[in-house]
Structure 1
Amino acid sequence: MSSTLIISLPQLPDDLAATSAADLHCDYQYGDQAWHSANLQQLGQLMQAEPATPTQIDVYLSGVNVLASTVTAPRKQHKHLARILPFLCEEQLAQDIDSLHVVAGRIFADNVTVCAISKRLLSQLLALLDECQLAPSRISSEVDLLRTALQPGQSLLWVDQHCCQLVIAQQAVSLAREQLKYALETLQQQAEANLLLCYDPGSAGPEINLAIEDLKARGTTVIEQPLNHPELSCLQQLFQLELASGAAINLLQGPYASKKSTANTINWRPLALAASVLVGLNLVYSLASGIYFSSQADALHQQSEALYRSYFPDDKRIINIKTQTQGHLSRGQGYSNGGFLHMLHNFIGPWGEYRNQLTLKSLRFNQQRDELLMEIESRSIEQLDKLQSSLGERAELLSANEDGNSVRGRIKLQGSQP
């Protein structure tokens, strides 16, 4: 069920100071319920008794209380629109511009829709709504809501038992039903190529039919929308005909901006909680990873130290394993007493002469026996014999097997241990 409360207020007096919430009549619709009537005080009490308070409160005012018009502003001036807007519609205002709250709406090229309302009236209305705990999410004009139902280049004439609404070129006028003649005359003079006619057939009268026939004769396309429930207000019928698009200008802007959370407002609390949990998990993971990798690093460091001492037992202090090892290798020291490096050094010297002729397939060192076993591929047995001879008396050719066009041999190099 929808939790939006829609409040329709009839024509308000110019000064609400002497009007109490109990004296202010309204029509309202809550959720999917039907429309009801009450005074503002009763409505506030009804909403407080509801199990769940409305998440959004939309208030619509009569077009008599709000000027709905269109002004022309070149696009290059749109960045200064808020400052220049009151002066652009000054000629259309019956009051001093300083006493009015002017708000911009939709923009069509160089044309900007505007709504204006008395600052005093708006402040007094907000005070009454606040007194009834009905803080509105938006306040709009029902005649501006009519404008949102139109296509570009389309005019509107709305006639019911209570009022007459006229919209031409996005300029909106709200009149009493008795002023229909004036609306028809204006329409015949200024109507656009298309006209949306919403009227009560039972009380239309011959003057409407004559004016419509005249417009049709002059090429105006008329789309007729009968109002089958004349007892309903203009706003109620707009919602029933699904002509209320919700794109009407919200007067609660600037200093009157609503501070009440609406249904479209993001609830940051669960997002903040989720972010806190993620940060906590990331912190725990970072700490655990740090402890794990720190222990792994300590283990590797100990293994590196043990391996270094096995090759360079004469070093008493180990400061930097990499630097000290490079120093030993560059000086050719640290392996004079035998071991792997000693035999590798003895092997590399003679090998340099044959490395372009022979291929070293594998190299294995047996620390217990102090011997280096090499598997070598050559073109002939003679090459293996020459390498074995170059390595000295501690080298022994263990085997030599022909493999197609090559010979695979195994040479063992014995260390200095007996």
Structure 2
Amino acid sequence: MDCLFLPADSPARLDADTPVYWLPKQGAGRWLRLDECAAAAQGAISLVLPAEACSFFAVSLPTRKARWMQQALAYVAEELLAENVDELHLALGETLADGRQRVVAIGRQRLGDWLAQLRELGLPIVAVHVDADLLPRDATQLLFLGERGLLGGAGETRLVFASRDWPALAGHCPPPWHAQGSEAEPPVPLEDYRPLDDPYAFLAGNRATAVNLAQGEFAVETGSTGLGYWKPLFAVVGLILLVQPGFNLVQAWYFQRQGDAYAEASQALYRELFPEDVRIVNLRAQFDDHLAQRSGGQAGFLRLLEHTAGALEDGIPVTIGQLDYNQDRGDLALQLQAMDFATLETLRRRLGESGQSVQLGSASREGDGVSARVVIGG
């Protein structure tokens, strides 16, 4: 697809006159204004951001389940970043040799504004990469674009630097060093240097292995249109509809038996690990609580907070006036206001259904309502 490279000094507001490097899927690349790119575009476009706009690091995540990875990523990244993690878009990349996962971070507002502005100009962006991350993923890779240098390769480091500063960086980068550049000669002495006719085309050729920032809220669905494209799919769907009812019955019977077997095995293991729990209401929630009690700290707080939010999601009309978490005891105390005592009892019952220890005390009437202190966990 066509590629659009934003320059290192890209403004916060992209308009029709903003200069960018345009690399069509066919033909030579050149510097154009954005309105000229929109006129030349022939379909989906891959946007390449300057490394100056992003941060790069690697993290060890405690889960590989897709639905939990973003939540775990935000929690782990908060320890590494000086910025507010809620204001960042975090894109997950590949797993490194040491088991950690590559991460690219960029301001959520900045990325959202750029994408919206480009689409307003008629540029359909479907993929987002970073120039330093487009270098080949072996050894230490360098690309010199005049006075601007890019560092990448197999390691976690992605860096933009002044070309003249490479000698000072060299000692921190493991050899071998593979260097490419836009000039016939490197800006600093290098043994392995290859001049490139179009360094941007060299970067674009490595998009398949680079991190695509179009994830989560910035994910883009692509597809072709036209009846001819869908004909094979219609044929397959027709065949599936003929055999599906019988297959569903067999599959449902099989999975029911498998599920019952796994449930029995899980309960047996749980009773073996936690014999003091004589009543199992929600196996997953109770097991998570035991883990939280052993890990303590913020993880225990977040888990209790999640249970509280789950109990309130049906719209129980209560107001939380104060919230206190005791790490030593592992309990969460809530000062609540409600219309009547029945509402408080409903909430207490809902919290208990998740397997939590719930204590309701210090209830008193205040004006037209009631207030009480509820302690969860511990």
Scaled by the length of structure 2, what TM-score is found? 0.55
Distance 1:129 1:280, change over 3 A: same
Structure-2 separation of matches of 1:272 and 1:255: 28
Question: Are 2:129 and 2:213, in contact at CA under 8 Å, matched by a contact in 1?
Answer: yes
- The DSSP-based 3-state class of the residue aligned with 1:41 is helix
1:150 to 137, 141, 145: 137
Distance 1:281 1:91, change over 3 A: closer
- The DSSP-based 3-state class of the residue aligned with 2:27 is coil
Using the TM superposition, give the Cα deviation of residue 278 of structure 1 relative to its aligned residue in structure 2, in angstroms.
Answer: 6.4
Structure-2 separation of matches of 1:160 and 1:133: 29
Q: Decide which structure has the larger Cα Rg and report it.
A: 1
Residues 153-172 of structure 1: pairs in structure 2 closer than 5 A:
154-167=139-152, 169-172=155-158
Using the TM superposition, give the Cα deviation of residue 187 of structure 1 relative to its aligned residue in structure 2, in angstroms.
Answer: 2.3
Structure-2 separation of matches of 1:110 and 1:68: 16
- Code of the aligned partner of 1:252: A
Residues 7-406 of structure 1: pairs in structure 2 closer than 5 A:
7-13=4-10, 15-16=12-13, 19-20=14-15, 22-47=16-41, 53-54=42-43, 56-73=44-61, 80-90=68-78, 92-108=80-96, 109-146=98-135, 149-151=136-138, 154-167=139-152, 169-177=155-163, 180-181=164-165, 183-188=166-171, 190-199=172-181, 202=184, 204-205=186-187, 208-209=188-189, 224-229=192-197, 232=198, 234-239=199-204, 244-261=206-223, 269-275=230-236
Structure 2: unaligned runs, 5 residues or longer: 244-378
Structure-2 separation of matches of 1:83 and 1:158: 34
Distance 1:228 1:254, change over 3 A: closer
Question: Are 2:5 and 2:47, in contact at CA under 8 Å, matched by a contact in 1?
Answer: yes
- The DSSP-based 3-state class of the residue aligned with 1:246 is helix
Taking only the aligned residue pairs, the percentage that are identical comes to 18
- Code of the aligned partner of 1:150: R
Using the TM superposition, give the Cα deviation of residue 247 of structure 1 relative to its aligned residue in structure 2, in angstroms.
Answer: 1.6
Structure-1 separation of matches of 2:38 and 2:142: 34
Question: Are 1:74 and 1:110, in contact at CA under 8 Å, matched by a contact in 2?
Answer: no
Structure-1 separation of matches of 2:22 and 2:10: 19
- Code of the aligned partner of 2:128: I
Using the TM superposition, give the Cα deviation of residue 32 of structure 1 relative to its aligned residue in structure 2, in angstroms.
Answer: 1.9
Using the TM superposition, give the Cα deviation of residue 260 of structure 1 relative to its aligned residue in structure 2, in angstroms.
Answer: 3.4
Distance 1:75 1:97, change over 3 A: closer
- Code of the aligned partner of 2:203: L
Structure-2 separation of matches of 1:141 and 1:255: 18
The answer to which of 107-116 and 37-46 deviates more is 37-46
- The DSSP-based 3-state class of the residue aligned with 2:111 is helix
Deviations 1:247-285 (A, max 9, x none): 21111111111133269xx98731354357769999xxx
Question: Are 2:149 and 2:160, in contact at CA under 8 Å, matched by a contact in 1?
Answer: yes
The answer to which of 267-276 and 4-13 deviates more is 267-276
Distance 1:159 1:253, change over 3 A: same
Structure-2 separation of matches of 1:257 and 1:271: 26
The answer to which of 26-35 and 111-120 deviates more is 26-35
Question: Are 1:68 and 1:144, in contact at CA under 8 Å, matched by a contact in 2?
Answer: no
Structure-2 separation of matches of 1:162 and 1:36: 19
- The DSSP-based 3-state class of the residue aligned with 2:53 is coil
- Code of the aligned partner of 1:167: G
Question: Are 2:45 and 2:123, in contact at CA under 8 Å, matched by a contact in 1?
Answer: yes
- The DSSP-based 3-state class of the residue aligned with 1:43 is helix
Using the TM superposition, give the Cα deviation of residue 6 of structure 1 relative to its aligned residue in structure 2, in angstroms.
Answer: 1.4
Distance 1:279 1:81, change over 3 A: closer
Structure-2 separation of matches of 1:237 and 1:117: 24
- Code of the aligned partner of 2:159: V
- Code of the aligned partner of 2:150: Q
- The DSSP-based 3-state class of the residue aligned with 2:59 is strand
- Code of the aligned partner of 1:227: P
- The DSSP-based 3-state class of the residue aligned with 2:220 is coil
Distance 1:106 1:131, change over 3 A: same
Deviations 1:317-346 (A, max 9, x none): xxxxxxxxxxxxxxxxxxxxxxxxxxxxxx
Structure-2 separation of matches of 1:93 and 1:143: 20
Structure 1 vs Structure 2 CA RMSD: 3.5
Aligned to 1:398: none
Question: Are 1:73 and 1:110, in contact at CA under 8 Å, matched by a contact in 2?
Answer: no
Scaled by the length of structure 1, what TM-score is found? 0.50
Using the TM superposition, give the Cα deviation of residue 120 of structure 1 relative to its aligned residue in structure 2, in angstroms.
Answer: 0.9
Using the TM superposition, give the Cα deviation of residue 173 of structure 1 relative to its aligned residue in structure 2, in angstroms.
Answer: 0.7
